[in-house]
Amino acid sequence: MRYSKIIGTGSYLPEKVLTNVDLEGIVDTTDAWIQERTGIVKRHIAIPGQTCSDLAEPAALNAMAAAQVKPNNIDLIIVATTTPDQVFPSTACIIQQRLGIHGCPAFDIQAVCTGFIYALTIADQFIRTGAANCALVIGTEVLSHIINWQDRNTCVLFGDGAGAVVLKRATEPGIITSKIHADGSYKELLEVPAGIGVGFDAVNNPLYMTMRGNEVFKFAVRTLERIAEETISSANLTRDDIQWLVPHQANIRIIQATARKLNLPMERVVITVAEHGNTSAASIPMALDVAIRDGRICQGERVLMEAFGGGFTWGAMLVKF
């Protein structure tokens, strides 16, 4: 049997930091309010001209170094992003060129905050079917480019960053199972209502994110509880078999609710939302990289990763290290 296993992780954050106190001078909000409602203290923001491929490249190099693989070992590149550099070519092709990789499939997928789970699921299938042996999977975002900095409902939540993993063929399952879903009937609750098809311009229809926060919050809590249970059950395991939860870093209250449902103490949950904010497709791989590098997640442990995003999309993956 062919399986896949994560053999290296990497991440990268832009140098510019925007704190809650900084935001107090931009919109009508306070540090205390942001921390109480979201758990966020600060976020990293790309400087003008800095693209998601600029963040993805060092994250990829860090993951490849950790995995001890060279560019010629990579035979698949998948990038999850909502904020690509260009309409085309794909950000994956841009990164492929930067890394000196030639000829292998390289493409982007767009599932917003669930994008990394989607991308990793696709890469796992490529490896299981024999279409690839060593995949580079990246989540990278410059969400600051689609934020209205006068909208306090969204501008306090999001940040920029990139995370990457190297996934390689294995004889035993590293990726145990994954479940991904979507329901487009909820699209108006969290979206950028502009684009190539419907048009956009700087004045009348800018490329800004809009969100109906309370409705998104309630739906996310319910959905993440269900997807966690579905994923664990599909592997014929129980909640007691899970050592770590690496959730999408959207809101500390959503993370706490999911941990309670799984009966996991918070010390077994990887939390980076205070330092990173919500970085969409980049949040899970960045949090995973933090916990791998500081030694929390150890060999042989099972990790549940789960996310919810605009679309709506949602998904979870169970991994053994």
Active site residues: 113, 248, 278
CA 145 to centroid of chain Cα atoms: 17
Q: What are the structure tokens assigned to 228, written together?
A: 């966690």
Q: How far apart are CA 76 and CA 132, in angstroms?
A: 6
Cis-peptide into 312, omega within 30 deg = yes
Q: How far apart are CA 140 and CA 163, in angstroms?
A: 6
What are the CB-based long-range contacts (under 8 Å, 24+) for 84-90?
Answer: 84/52, 84/108, 85/51, 85/52, 85/53, 87/196
Q: Tell me the backbone φ, ψ of residue 69, rounded to 5 degrees.
A: -120, 150
Q: How far apart are CA 12 and CA 284, in angstroms?
A: 13
Q: How far apart are CA 12 and CA 2, in angstroms?
A: 31
**CA nearest to 98, candidates 118, 120, 79, 113:** 79
Q: Is the C-alpha dihedral spanning 152, 153, 157, 159 positive or negative? A: negative
Q: Hey, how many other C-beta atoms are within 10 angstroms of the C-beta on 236?
A: 9
Q: How far apart are CA 126 and CA 23, in angstroms?
A: 43
Distances (CA, A) of 311 to 141, 192, 306, 314: 17, 10, 16, 9
Q: How far apart are CA 290 and CA 83, in angstroms?
A: 23
3-state DSSP assignment of residue 232: helix
